[in-house]
Amino acid sequence: MSTVFSGIQPTGGLHLGNLLGAVRNWVDNQGDTVGFFCIVDLHALTVPKEPGEVGKGSIELARELLACGLDPTESTLFIQSHVPEHAQMGWLLQCNTGFGELNRMTQFKDKSAKQKDFVSSGLFSYPSLQAADILLYDTNQVPVGADQRQHIELTRDIAVRFNSRYGETFVVPEAVSPAAGARVMDLQNPTDKMSKSAATESGTIYLAEDLSKTAKKIKRAVTDSEVEVRYDPEAKPGVANLLGILGAATDRDPAALADEYSQYGPLKSDTADAVVTLLEPIQERLSELQQDPDSVTAALITGARKASTTAQATYQRAVQNIGLTPPG
Ligand code: ATP
Ligand code: LTN
């Protein structure tokens, strides 16, 4: 069975982009793959946070991921800081990552531009820690949205470089993204991706929000001044985004869907209905889990234990291949 690894930051409530671009893929492949899913709390520290904020966000995120259908008996769900080998391996890989390589990462450019007073060196070197997350688990596939593909390419380069410097140590992974939904855009600014940390709430659909709000946000989504429904992400980003969301939610091709609509109104109301149908069962499970906080904690404890076994073995292999002096 192939091994799947992916990570998500506890930086706010899960949104539709996270679900369609990544989390749905994680859930759908359970049972056919060995899955490790990591709440990357150390990555969330790359931008300033209040004391306690990341810890609280990690538990909330775990609850949302379980509500989306991650099954702790099939998959390993854990918090990154519970497995110290992530930070340790992160350092080894930072020393095998080029400054120039990190300097090309578009996520660093975007996120550093948004920081007013302080850009941490962690924000810059973060992709080496992401590579450590992935490589610790002998990962074959990394299901992510389109925005993360550049980081997975870098992870591959780091793995190949390390293997050639120190001998065969890491499996070289590949990114996988869905045909529709890999890049869900902000409903108000359809040239920006939908994000947990977006400027306004009206462009982001949160999985836990009131569903009447969801439908309103979709009906108020920015389109354009034409009337024709056509799938053209360059010229008509707002309309293409709605078709992309409808396509992802109903398992249809966005370009083919465009032929079925001649006006924006019906496209918006069908998209709203499809999204509400997708979110309803998730919200039901979420309220059940809110009544049962112990099951969330239990899943995370078991997850960290399972993840540690694999992470320790890979970390030891890396240290041995580098040839550091063993203790004792
Ligand atoms: P932040 O705004 O804090 O950067 P985010 O919303 O980008 O957070 P992440 O935790 O960074 O979310 O990403 C988790 C997963 O969701 C990644 O695989 C990422 O590629 C995917 N993802 C995030 N935003 C989108 C989007 N708009 N469309 C499709 N996939 C997305
Ligand atoms: N960098 C990713 C989150 C992330 C990740 C990972 C994704 C951290 N480690 C490992 C896939 C595999 C982001 O910002 N969305």
125-175 pLDDT, tens digit per residue, is: 999 999 999 999 999 999 999 999 999 999 999 999 999 999 999 999 999
Averaged over 81-101, what is the pLDDT?
Answer: 98
Q: What is the percent of the chain with per-residue pLDDT over 70, rounded to a whole number? A: 100
C-alpha 109 to ligand 2 mean position (Å) = 16
Q: Cβ(80)–Cβ(137) under 8 Å?
A: no
Residues whose CB falls within 8 Å of the CB of residue 50, separated by 6 or more in sequence, listed in order: none
Please tell me the distance between residue 44's alpha carbon and the centre of ligand 1 in angstroms: 12
Ligand 2 in reach of 46 Cβ (< 6 A):
no
Predicted pLDDT at 199: 72
Give span(s): CATH 3.40.50.620, the chain: 3-181+293-322
**C-beta 151 within 6 A of ligand 1:** no
Q: Which ligand has the minimum distance to the alpha carbon of residue 15?
A: 1
**pLDDT for residue 22:** 96
Q: Mean of the pLDDT values across residues 195-222?
A: 93
Task: Give the pairing type, strands 141-143 and 174-176.
Answer: parallel
From the CA of 11, the nearest ligand is: 1
Residue nearest to atom 15 of ligand 2 (CA): 8
CATH number of 201-288: 1.10.240.10
CA distance 219 to 13: 22
Contacts of 101 (CB under 8 A, 6+ apart): 154, 157
**Within 13 A of 74's CA, how many CA atoms are on the CB side?**
14
CATH 3.40.50.620 fits domain 3-181+293-322: yes
Name the band, by pLDDT with cuts 50, 70 and 90, for residue 210. very high
Q: How far is the CA of 252 from the centre of ligand 2 (A)?
A: 27
Give yes or no for residue 200 having a pLDDT over 90. Answer: no
Find out whether the beta carbon of 194 lies less than 6 Å from any atom of ligand 1: yes
pLDDT of res. 205: 97
Q: What's the confidence (pLDDT) of residue 196?
A: 84
Give catalytic residues, as residue numbers: 111, 193, 196
Q: What percent of the chain has pLDDT over 90?
A: 95
Tell me the pLDDT tens digit for each residue of 100-124.
999 999 999 999 999 889 999 999 9
Is the CB of 197 inside a 6 Å radius of any atom of ligand 1? yes
Instruction: Give the pLDDT confidence score for residue 29 in this predicted structure.
Output: 93
Q: Which pLDDT band, with edges at 50, 70 and 90, does 227 fall under?
A: confident
- For CATH 1.10.240.10, list the domain ranges present in the chain: 201-288
How far away, in angstroms, is 225 Cα from ligand 1 center? 29
The CA 291 to ligand 2 mean position distance, Å, reads 29
**Tens digit of each residue's pLDDT (9 = 90 or more) over 26-55:** 999 999 999 999 999 999 999 999 999 999
**What is the predicted pLDDT for the residue at 98?**
98
Structural tokens at position 134: 């992935």
Q: What is the mean pLDDT of the chain?
A: 96
Residues 126 and 266: their CA atoms lie apart, in Å, by 43
Distance, in Å, from the CA atom of 326 to the CA atom of 308, rounded to the nearest integer, reads: 20
Which ligand is the nearest neighbour of the Cα of 141?
A: 2
pLDDT score recorded for residue 256: 96
Ligand 2 mutation target, pool 86, 108, 133, 147, most atoms within 8 A of CB: 133
